[in-house]
Amino acid sequence: MAEQTTATPLNSRHRDLKALMAPFGGWDMPIQYEGIIAEHAWCRQKAALFDICHMGEFIFQGDFEAGGLEDVFTFSVKTIPVGRSRYGFLLNEQGGIIDDLIVFRLAEDKVMVVVNAATATNDYAVISQRLKGGAFSNITDQTGKLDIQGPLAREVMVSAFGEQVATIPYFKFITMDILGVEAIVSRTGYTGELGYEIFIPADKVCQLWDLLLKDERVKPAGLGARDVLRLEVGYSLYGSDIDEVTTPLQAGLGAFVNFDKNFVGKEALMKQKQEGVAKQKIAFRVSSRRSPRHHYEILSEGHPVGSVTSGVFSPMLGCGIGIGFAAAGEYPVGMPLTICHERVSMEAVVCELPFYDNGSLRS
Amino acid sequence: MAEMYFTKEHEWVKVTGTTGKVGISEHAAHELGDITFVELPKIGKTVKQFDVLAAIESVKAASDIFAPLSGKVLAVNDELDTTPETVNESAEEKAWMVELEISDSAELKNLMTQDQYNEFLKTL
């Protein structure tokens, strides 16, 4: 019954805060503290702090081309400027997504790869197999990660760590001294709000958590709120919306695939590009407050066309929202759909992503 | 003072004469988390004891609400259409969902009293 889970360094902090805990990706994680709706609102209005220590971090050091790293992902690593990061995929030979990840260019010859928790062990094995040289290490256990997200995140960070944080642009990062150790502060996140991801040695993460929570503009938020926040802005969740049998082209994420370079899975994607995809991602908005949920069926004019992969009640829109996959075809904005599961049936219309586009992300 | 009875599925019914107001317990509301939607039945609908009466959704889950007693729906609390969060704030008072005309009060023997329900919660 009890799933074997790993605790992050902040586990006792979460328990002191009476968080509802649950297993996620092999880790014992906080789902909510005060409540998902309240934490979601705090993130959209103030600044929310998330324990993201469960995510995986790897370091590659060496020659990107000779070491084989340049061909591992769907994007070029060598063209990422130092101090910038890039989002993309690790694919299998069939073009299926083994993981979605971000690569941080730390130095001329050094990158950090940040991956999902549940997939980290497999990712590390797959990448290791594909490399031909260089030094590759898994630093997940030694690395703490906190995300601070929300329109007040910059003011909070400047109060805590000084003006140098204020000027970091979106998808750039700096390395700086925090609590006497070297930390990475990156203008990235998973909420659609202005925010930072902070990577710090694991033995300092409790101190950093306490420091940031002393600021009354900051409250902790759990993975429940994080899931609502990310879906409102249309971000995919690995394991729900994307997986090893879904390609970036099917998932509408072709923008993160660079066909001008080599990568594992390229042939399969080229073929899919020519022949067309068998399934495609669609987004829809429900006409009531009902939530579509994972595995609910999607119907068009009474015929099943696909199934829901993510759905929530959106506090920002005041209705249910969802994304799912449907048989290839035309799904114009405004097209009516029915979402069904057992006794539950809800009317919906196809819409564009993101559902919510008024966040402070790029401010 | 109306008598309050509970089901094992965490519905309550407050009986006044031949009518009863129905809702879900504070325990259930807490377990569900933030309530985002309540589906209420049509007025006039008749239900048997333990049949599906209504539905409720939270950020985390979707659940059915079962009729604690057989009867006919006399009224519904349609304020919950726009403010379902009332269930979190006042599950056993303001967030009544359905008023039933009770068709067989002998069915009360299948329900728990407040004290029995409190004991039942300790076993969960």
How many angstroms separate the CA of residue A205 from the nearest CA in chain B? 29
Cβ contact A36–B33 (<8 Å) = yes
- pLDDT at A87 (0 to 100): 98
Which of A241, A261, A253, A295 is CA-nearest to residue A277? A253
Domain presence at residue A249: no
Of B60, B84, B88, the CB nearest to A224: B60
Flag whether residue B57 sits within 8 Å of chain A, measured between CB atoms. Answer: yes
How many angstroms separate the CA of residue B16 from the nearest CA in chain A? 32
CA triplet B104, B108, B114: central angle to 5 degrees?
150
Chain mean pLDDT for chain A: 97
- For residues A50 and A154, membership in a common domain is answered with yes
Domain presence at residue A245: no
Which of A229, A242, A223, A194 is CA-nearest to residue A88? A242
How many angstroms separate the CA of residue A290 from the nearest CA in chain B? 6
Say if the ipTM goes beyond 0.90.
no
pLDDT tens-digit readout, A225-265: 999 999 999 999 999 999 999 999 999 999 999 999 999 99
- For residues A195 and A297, membership in a common domain is answered with no
B2: confidence class by pLDDT, cuts 50, 70, 90: confident
CATH of the domain at A35: 3.30.1360.120
Domain presence at residue A103: no
Q: What percent of chain A has pLDDT over 70?
A: 99
- For residues A226 and A308, membership in a common domain is answered with no
CATH of the domain at A293: 2.40.30.110
Q: What is the dihedral of CA A85, A86, A89, A90, to 10 degrees?
A: -40
Flag whether residue A288 sits within 8 Å of chain B, measured between CB atoms. Answer: yes
Q: In chain B, which residues have their Cβ closer than 8 Å to the Cβ of A38?
A: 34
Flag whether residue A166 sits within 8 Å of chain B, measured between CB atoms. Answer: no
Query: Domain span at residue A48?
Result: 6-54+141-232
- For residues A31 and A151, membership in a common domain is answered with yes
Rounded CA gap, B57 and A177, in Å?
Answer: 46
- pLDDT at A362 (0 to 100): 85
Q: In chain A, which residues have their Cβ closer than 8 Å to the Cβ of B88?
A: 35
Domain presence at residue A135: no
Flag whether residue A32 sits within 8 Å of chain B, measured between CB atoms. Answer: yes
Dihedrals phi, psi of A314, to nearest 5 degrees: -95, 115
Domains held by chain B: number: 1
Cβ contact A224–B57 (<8 Å) = no
What value does the mean pLDDT take over residues A127-131?
98
Strands A135-138, A110-115: pairing is unpaired
What value does the mean pLDDT take over residues A71-85?
98
Candidates A313, A321, A339, partner chain B, best to mutate (most B CBs within 10 A): A313
Q: Chains A and B: how many Cβ contacts under 8 Å?
A: 44
pLDDT tens-digit readout, A48-70: 999 999 999 999 999 999 999 99
Candidates B59, B81, B83, partner chain A, best to mutate (most A CBs within 10 A): B59
Domain presence at residue A49: yes
Domain presence at residue A259: no
- For residues A339 and A208, membership in a common domain is answered with no
Domain presence at residue A171: yes
CATH of the domain at B79: 2.40.50.100
- pLDDT at A363 (0 to 100): 82
- pLDDT at B88 (0 to 100): 96
Question: In the sheet that A27-32 helps form, which strands lie side by side, from edge to edge?
Answer: A6-7, A27-32, A20-24
- For residues A40 and A159, membership in a common domain is answered with yes
How many angstroms separate the CA of residue A181 from the nearest CA in chain B? 39
pLDDT tens-digit readout, A280-332: 999 999 999 999 999 999 999 999 999 999 999 999 999 999 999 999 999 99
Domain presence at residue A359: no
Flag whether residue B31 sits within 8 Å of chain A, measured between CB atoms. Answer: no
User: What are the C-alpha distances in Å from B124 to residues A22, A52, A301, B31, B50?
Assistant: 18, 32, 44, 12, 20
Flag whether residue A36 sits within 8 Å of chain B, measured between CB atoms. Answer: yes
Of A228, A288, A344, the CB nearest to B59: A228
What value does the mean pLDDT take over residues B75-91?
97
CB atoms within 10 A of CB A189: 27
Domain boundary at A232, A253, A270, which? Answer: A232
Query: Domain span at residue B51?
Result: 3-122
Domains held by chain A: number: 2
Rounded CA gap, A26 and A69, in Å?
Answer: 27
A38 Cβ contact partners less than 8 Å away, ≥ 6 residues apart: B34
- For residues A183 and A36, membership in a common domain is answered with yes
- pLDDT at B1 (0 to 100): 64
B118 Cβ contact partners less than 8 Å away, ≥ 6 residues apart: none
- pLDDT at A1 (0 to 100): 44
What value does the mean pLDDT take over residues A8-29?
97
- For residues A49 and A151, membership in a common domain is answered with yes
Residue A362 or residue A219, greater confidence: A219
Flag whether residue A343 sits within 8 Å of chain B, measured between CB atoms. Answer: yes
- pLDDT at A337 (0 to 100): 98
pLDDT tens-digit readout, A201-225: 999 999 999 999 999 999 999 999 9
Query: Mind giving me the DSSP string for chain B?
Result: --EEEE-TTSEEEEEETTEEEEEE-HHHHHHH-SEEEEEPPPTT-EE-TTSEEEEEEESS-EEEEE-SS-EEEEEE-THHHH-TTHHHH-TTTTT--EEEEES-GGGGGGSEEHHHHHHHHHT-
Flag whether residue A228 sits within 8 Å of chain B, measured between CB atoms. Answer: yes
- pLDDT at A2 (0 to 100): 57
How many angstroms separate the CA of residue B67 from the nearest CA in chain A? 16
